[in-house]
Amino acid sequence: MLDKFKDECGVFGIYDRDGLDVSLLTYFGLYSIQHRGQESAGIAVSNGDEIIYHKGTGLVPEVFDEDNIDRLRQGSIAIGHVRHSTSDGNLPQNTQPLVTKYKKGNMAIAHNGALINASTLRDELENVGAIFQTNTDSEVMANIIARTSDKGLEEALKTMMSRIKGAYALTMMTEDSLIGIRDPHGIRPLALGILDDSYVIASETCAFDVIGAEYIRDVRPGEIIIITKDGLKSIQTPVPLESSFCLFEFVYFARTDSVIDGISVQASRREAGRILARESPADADIVIGVPDSGTTAALGYAEEANIPYAEGLIKNRYVGRTFIKPTQAIREQDIRIKLNALRRIVRGKRIVMVDDSIVRGTTSRAIVDMLRLTGAREIHMRISSPIIKYPCHFGIDTPDRQALIGANFSEEEICEQLGVDSLNYISIDGLLKTVESSGASFCLGCFNGKYPIECKGGCK
């Protein structure tokens, strides 16, 4: 397991108006956002009368086979979900989409993000008789919708949004509608696309590319999109003055080939490398990237610094999940299974090594040791994110503050602990420059401790 923040989920949805195979397209869509969650996957489809589903723990190709995709083939609306488990563990009952019956019919919900008031709402709902079968935030949302459904679907969705607080990008469905919702701060991504005449909603645009759909735009913060046989309806709910999109999506979570708010993730990562080279130059013979996520910024650094880029680290492409628990000792061995240093490239060289982030520092230390053993003369580490000093409360799996190396040590101390000759991070202003053409505002919580939404008792 690499020492990275982990995204917790990805969502997908499609409303067919062209005779498409929605179950298979959802399967491919989920495949393309597998990087957002590897512990469970699920697809729910509606045939107009009922919602049927298949879900389970494991990667998308482990959960689905030809038989269960065939069984889901009778539908014309589908949503899907991939999940990285949170503190509630990888329990089978927490797999999504959550499919429930209520007095108006059936609904299914797939959620990316985390609510900060889920336990308060759960207590309130239990006090008035609600029974929960999962630990998920989705079930809290489903409960609120079900209890307010007499007002009609639109009003129930607005009521739900007025009561929940936190990060949420949702794909939902009833028997006859596909729904996409993004929280008022717009913390997690959600994009709208079209395939022929059929609308598609997904966490990332790479899911559109894989099925041949075109990106239309991002779902706006606070927007509810309802797609029915009559077309697409957009409802804008109240939003704060400034949005707070997760800046870390650009640093690491999103796939390099995705586009968010009109900005190419690849272009922003490359620009981060260029800015890093201007902010923190180094005398070196080669620039290498830590694959895969550090590679694009490393190319930008090399270009700007006019130092040759070289493949100094090679990733083993066939490493899957392992049964071994990620203890400290195992992590160090683990990195050698995943990465190898190319002796011919690094021996005797002064190296700039670019990575996207340092969380605990364990992986970085192991990579530096490997490069030294392979004969690297100097190692200048450059990081294309600012120092991570705080955990995330909005749907990202992060260690506690005491485990974050950037929260507990100065840059000089980290440099010494990692055993590098120099260490520099991109500045917050520098990183913001890479996305300024979006005109959006960003959450910087894990860098500066200023979160867009205050947690009860304070976000620590």
End-to-end Cα, the chain, rounded Å: 25
Rg of the chain over Cα atoms, rounded to whole angstroms, equals: 22
Name the residue nearer to ligand SF4 (CB basis): 272 or 420.
Answer: 272
> In angstroms, what is the minimal distance from the CB of 388 to ligand SF4?
8
Nearest to 39 by CA among 47, 30, 49, 28: 30
Task: Please state the three-class secondary structure of the chain as a single string.
Answer: CCCCCEECEEEEEEECCCCCCHHHHHHHHHHHCHHHCCCEEEEEEECCCCEEEEEEECCHHHHCCHHHHHHHHHCCEEEEEEECCCCCCCCHHHCCCEEEEECCEEEEEEEEEEECCHHHHHHHHHHCCCCCCCCCHHHHHHHHHHHCHHHCHHHHHHHHHHHCCEEEEEEEEECCCEEEEECCCCCCCCEEEEECCEEEEECCCHHHHHHCCEEEEECCCCEEEEEECCEEEEEECCCCCCCCEECHHHHHHCCCCCEECCEEHHHHHHHHHHHHHHHCCCCCCEEEECCCCCHHHHHHHHHHHCCCECCCEEECCCCCCCCCCCCHHHHHHHHHHHEEECHHHHCCCEEEEEECCCCCCHHHHHHHHHHHHCCCCEEEEEECCCCCCCCCCCCEECCCHHHCHHHHCCHHHHHHHHCCCEEEECCHHHHHHCCHHHCCCEECHHHHCCCCCCCCCCCC
* Residue ranges binding ligand SF4 (CB under 6 A): 5, 187, 246-248, 392, 394, 396, 443-446
> In angstroms, what is the minimal distance from the CB of 446 to ligand SF4?
3
Nearest to 380 by CA among 282, 269, 242: 282
Catalytically annotated residue among 9, 206, 246, 392: 9
Told to judge if 392 belongs to the known catalytic residues of this protein, a careful annotator would answer no
Q: What is the dihedral of CA 154, 118, 34, 189, to 10 degrees?
A: 50
Name the residue nearer to ligand SF4 (CB basis): 83 or 380.
Answer: 83
Name the residue nearer to ligand SF4 (CB basis): 114 or 335.
Answer: 114
> In angstroms, what is the minimal distance from the CB of 6 to ligand SF4?
10
Name the residue nearer to ligand SF4 (CB basis): 420 or 453.
Answer: 453
Considering only the C-alpha atoms of the chain, give the largest distance between any 2 of them, rounded to a whole number of Å: 73
Half-sphere exposure (Cβ direction) of 453: Cα atoms closer than 13 Å: 25
Name the residue nearer to ligand SF4 (CB basis): 188 or 349.
Answer: 188
> In angstroms, what is the minimal distance from the CB of 440 to ligand SF4?
13
> In angstroms, what is the minimal distance from the CB of 33 to ligand SF4?
17
State the amino acid at position 165 in one-letter form. Answer: K
> In angstroms, what is the minimal distance from the CB of 309 to ligand SF4?
28
Name the residue nearer to ligand SF4 (CB basis): 173 or 404.
Answer: 404
Name the residue nearer to ligand SF4 (CB basis): 349 or 393.
Answer: 393
State the amino acid at position 18 in one-letter form. Answer: D
Name the residue nearer to ligand SF4 (CB basis): 75 or 406.
Answer: 406
Name the residue nearer to ligand SF4 (CB basis): 186 or 312.
Answer: 186
> In angstroms, what is the minimal distance from the CB of 252 to ligand SF4?
9
> In angstroms, what is the minimal distance from the CB of 190 to ligand SF4?
14
> In angstroms, what is the minimal distance from the CB of 449 to ligand SF4?
9
Q: Which residues are catalytic?
A: 9
